[in-house]
Chains A and B, each alone.
Chain A
């Protein structure tokens, strides 16, 4: 009898366990200490966790590092202003930069930021084998506490861009664990990092600049689906989302579509197929896309806004180059959709549909080629499928194929490839179009674009001594009035759309004037945290 009781109890327990969970939870304490209802904190959900918070290893690259401060920093329109630096000079030969730094900046452990810390940061970053490219830097030396001299091996106009994303680390406490427990002199102080969960920041009250309005910042890492659920549950204030999920309306939140240079377009091999192969044995050239009229007909024949509306639910804008909206972008790259002009280009060159199969041909060669994309990337797939559908009207047949990166590496020199770039540093243009980089395995210039004119502008831009001079040359790369890499020029790329970075924001929170985002996911969002604030008018 006794044992029977135990068994009954045992069975009852297992049932009870199921229901008990429900009861427990409804009584569970409301557990937020410094969140949602108070007006000086935010919780931000982003998809990708940084690997490290050490700027010399790549933290904050392309953005501002928040915890650390930089010598110079970007403004919202991506020009430069002084941050730690009070002044800088460049020698006439463009090789020696001399920076004077402010003497009222302190690390959060109380130590003063000295020129030696900056020299140490640059030297460490150079040898880190990470994302910071300082291969052109010869040395960085502190002359005294407030002067640092950097010697380059060649004039490099993007040096300022690089400096704007390398946060200064303190030499006196820097060690292997710095990346998980950073100390800096930036607007925020690092509090705690729980990997794959959250990072806590709090405002640095001793910051030499404006103390941020948002005092406590929690960045949580969740997939876009989980982030949307968190928005619906009201647990986060800001959440990074996608074009697909962003159409869900959530009470108390609005969706901000932040412009980005996160672009999608496809390369078109500009060389004919002459049976040549690359060093790794991949075939080079495509007899259809090597014709300028084919490339331009596609460029003029597609309705970019329509693709943005249909494929991206409106969370996208037409793209006309690799760097739309950046200070080094040439406005001349914009072209109007003109199907008649596209048709005329084909007709004039002798592409005519003679056999009535809907595809134009010339000398027996059909205007048909493959465009490949990495399978699994549904956005790229949908964009290229839409393009293929639209250019059918012109009599051009694009065969859309999803494949692996391995196969793309084999086929990208002879087929069109759907890709995406978009950087806050202009040297991307250099790698995309330089002749020396053509047909390398690094994905930048698989189409084989080579031009002495372009190379001249590229080198001039890279070696320019001022930002203005550099930008002038970057623009000429795209269009100098007669030629260029733009679609109205040589058209090695057909650019289609720039993806908006879709973000849920709780009503009442201002996320400031967001600079145009680069290709990265989530992190660009928090680079202007200092500007964020809650409206004093109260929450809706």
Chain B
């Protein structure tokens, strides 16, 4: 028990150090990229106003957006604020970045979690089927579907679903996280779920093929191994072999992939949220990008880094739970 706690603590510690250095690097790079981008946020803002602005007023707006200071000064100013726990103020929404992120995060989390579970379950399940019926018709059909789905961009899939299920069949709402015209407090859990289905389904479908194809390959490897040959010789059926020898061996890479897919999931959610007008971090980040809202863009970038590395850390912790070999191995090696 003590050993397990130590292991968790060690992983946590190493990951914290890594994450912090990663955050620093990512923030510096994104800041450099934003500074190098040809967009002029003040001009963007003024165009959006639709009214003429005097040079004095323009200077005041520039001061507010802070575009006149040199980028390096701005970066360190921003960094010291962040170290004090202040992510800054979104220049576009004129509200604290932390408040905007906090508001959007739960919507995105629900969406990504559903999509993640969906892609995991479907992907793993179909991967098993494909592996077991290798080169038979079921395998061939599902494999083709996987190839098609992994080549289709998320937003396109989303648009097609929107057209078919919302416009033609009218089964699902056209977008948003809650019904149009209903106050937040009157929205039921069922309604939220109902609005979540189509975007989550789109996101899940767009990302399951990866895990399905990997699971298939891994299962084929397992079925070609000598211990499976031995099991067959003992007279075990396909299903028994899958349960006794297959699952544990293929779960490991599947889990790695699934947790590593947090990054893709985040990227996909930007597309899905925009297509379905779903108010999450994804649509906030595109609004921030299009309007040159640097504090919000950086805030969400840092947040997504945290999110993705948390995913990787969970995967590492789970390895130990699933595979005792890793537990023993990491006990010797971590921290060295």
A 387-424 to B, binary, CB cutoff 8 A, 1 in contact else 0: 00000000000000000111101000000000001111
Binds A, one of B10-18, B58-66, B249-257, B299-307: B58-66
Instruction: Please state if A197 and B242 are interface contacts (CB–CB under 8 Å).
Output: no
CB of B78 closer than 8 Å to a CB of A: no
CB of A354 closer than 8 Å to a CB of B: no
11 further A-B pairs in the complex, CB-CB below 8 A; given A26-B171, A133-B51, A222-B277:
A25-B171, A28-B190, A33-B179, A51-B93, A52-B94, A195-B103, A200-B183, A218-B181, A229-B162, A422-B50, A518-B50
Residues of B within 8 A of A191 (CB): 183
Instruction: Please state if A24 and B183 are interface contacts (CB–CB under 8 Å).
Output: no
Residues of B within 8 A of A58 (CB): 49
State how many angstroms separate the Cβ of A280 from the closest Cβ of chain B: 13
Cα A14 to Cα B176 with chains together (Å)? 26
Residues of A within 8 A of B276 (CB): 226
State how many angstroms separate the Cβ of B134 from the closest Cβ of chain A: 16
Q: Which residues of B line the A interface, CB within 8 A?
A: 38-40, 43, 45-58, 60-61, 63-64, 92-95, 100, 103-104, 118, 121-122, 125-126, 128-129, 159, 162-163, 165-167, 170-184, 186, 190-191, 194, 197, 201, 239-240, 242-243, 274-277, 279, 283-284, 287
Instruction: Please state if B243 and A129 are interface contacts (CB–CB under 8 Å).
Output: no
Residues of A within 8 A of B52 (CB): 421, 423, 425, 427-428, 430-432, 444
Which B residue sits closest to A28, measured CB to CB?
B194
A 34-54 to B, binary, CB cutoff 8 A, 1 in contact else 0: 110000010100001101101
Cα A221 to Cα B286 with chains together (Å)? 14
Residues of A within 8 A of B46 (CB): 131
Instruction: Please state if A518 and B174 are interface contacts (CB–CB under 8 Å).
Output: no
Instruction: Please state if A32 and B162 are interface contacts (CB–CB under 8 Å).
Output: no
Instruction: Please state if B38 and A405 are interface contacts (CB–CB under 8 Å).
Output: yes
Instruction: Please state if B194 and A25 are interface contacts (CB–CB under 8 Å).
Output: yes
Cα A135 to Cα B171 with chains together (Å)? 54
- With A4-B243, A22-B171, A130-B64 already in contact, the answer to whether A62 and B51 are too (CB < 8 A) is yes
Residues of B within 8 A of A437 (CB): 55
Which A residue sits closest to B129, measured CB to CB?
A11
Binds B, one of A230-238, A344-352, A465-473: A230-238
State how many angstroms separate the Cβ of A517 from the closest Cβ of chain B: 9
Which B residue sits closest to A54, measured CB to CB?
B94
Cα A222 to Cα B274 with chains together (Å)? 9
Cα A404 to Cα B162 with chains together (Å)? 33
Instruction: Please state if A11 and B39 are interface contacts (CB–CB under 8 Å).
Output: no
Instruction: Please state if A129 and B179 are interface contacts (CB–CB under 8 Å).
Output: no
Q: Can you list 7 A-B pairs, Cβ within 8 angstroms, ordered by A?
A: A51-B94, A54-B94, A61-B51, A233-B166, A427-B52, A437-B55, A518-B51
Cα A11 to Cα B129 with chains together (Å)? 8
- With A24-B197, A48-B48, A233-B167 already in contact, the answer to whether A14 and B55 are too (CB < 8 A) is no
Residues of A within 8 A of B176 (CB): 197-198, 220
Which B residue sits closest to A409, measured CB to CB?
B40
Instruction: Please state if A7 and B50 are interface contacts (CB–CB under 8 Å).
Output: no
CB of A452 closer than 8 Å to a CB of B: no
Residues of B within 8 A of A225 (CB): 159
The 7 closest A-B pairs by CB, nearest first: A519-B50, A428-B52, A404-B38, A520-B50, A196-B279, A406-B38, A129-B64
Cα A28 to Cα B170 with chains together (Å)? 11
Residues of B within 8 A of A233 (CB): 166-167, 170, 174
A 199-223 to B, binary, CB cutoff 8 A, 1 in contact else 0: 0100000000000000010101111
CB of A442 closer than 8 Å to a CB of B: yes
Residue among A25, A52, A430, A518 having the largest count of chain B Cβ atoms under 10 Å? A25
CB of A69 closer than 8 Å to a CB of B: no
State how many angstroms separate the Cβ of A197 from the closest Cβ of chain B: 5
- With A196-B277, A235-B173, A405-B38 already in contact, the answer to whether A129 and B178 are too (CB < 8 A) is no
Residues of A within 8 A of B243 (CB): 3-4, 7
Instruction: Please state if B95 and A180 are interface contacts (CB–CB under 8 Å).
Output: yes
Instruction: Please state if B171 and A7 are interface contacts (CB–CB under 8 Å).
Output: no
Residues of B within 8 A of A427 (CB): 52, 54
CB of A97 closer than 8 Å to a CB of B: no
Residues of B within 8 A of A18 (CB): 122
Residues of B within 8 A of A57 (CB): 94
CB of A194 closer than 8 Å to a CB of B: yes
Cα A198 to Cα B53 with chains together (Å)? 29
Instruction: Please state if A14 and B121 are interface contacts (CB–CB under 8 Å).
Output: yes
Cα A37 to Cα B118 with chains together (Å)? 36
Cα A432 to Cα B63 with chains together (Å)? 23
Instruction: Please state if B118 and A194 are interface contacts (CB–CB under 8 Å).
Output: no
Among A508-528, those with CB < 8 Å from B are: 518-520, 524
Instruction: Please state if A235 and B53 are interface contacts (CB–CB under 8 Å).
Output: no
State how many angstroms separate the Cβ of B188 from the closest Cβ of chain A: 9
- With A4-B243, A406-B40 already in contact, the answer to whether A197 and B63 are too (CB < 8 A) is no
Instruction: Please state if A226 and B174 are interface contacts (CB–CB under 8 Å).
Output: yes
Cα A332 to Cα B202 with chains together (Å)? 56
Residues of B within 8 A of A365 (CB): none
Which A residue sits closest to B54, measured CB to CB?
A133
CB of A440 closer than 8 Å to a CB of B: yes
Cα A405 to Cα B47 with chains together (Å)? 12
State how many angstroms separate the Cβ of B132 from the closest Cβ of chain A: 10
Instruction: Please state if B284 and A196 are interface contacts (CB–CB under 8 Å).
Output: yes
Which B residue sits closest to A260, measured CB to CB?
B50
Residue among A230, A404, A423, A425 having the largest count of chain B Cβ atoms under 10 Å? A230
CB of A192 closer than 8 Å to a CB of B: yes
Cα A191 to Cα B184 with chains together (Å)? 10
Instruction: Please state if B51 and A428 are interface contacts (CB–CB under 8 Å).
Output: yes
- With A51-B94, A52-B93, A129-B63 already in contact, the answer to whether A425 and B51 are too (CB < 8 A) is yes
Residues of B within 8 A of A48 (CB): 48
Task: Choose from A61, A198, A519 the contact partner of B180 (Cβ within 8 Å).
Answer: A198
CB of A540 closer than 8 Å to a CB of B: no
Instruction: Please state if A223 and B182 are interface contacts (CB–CB under 8 Å).
Output: no
Instruction: Please state if A222 and B175 are interface contacts (CB–CB under 8 Å).
Output: yes
CB of A443 closer than 8 Å to a CB of B: yes
Residues of B within 8 A of A130 (CB): 61, 64, 94
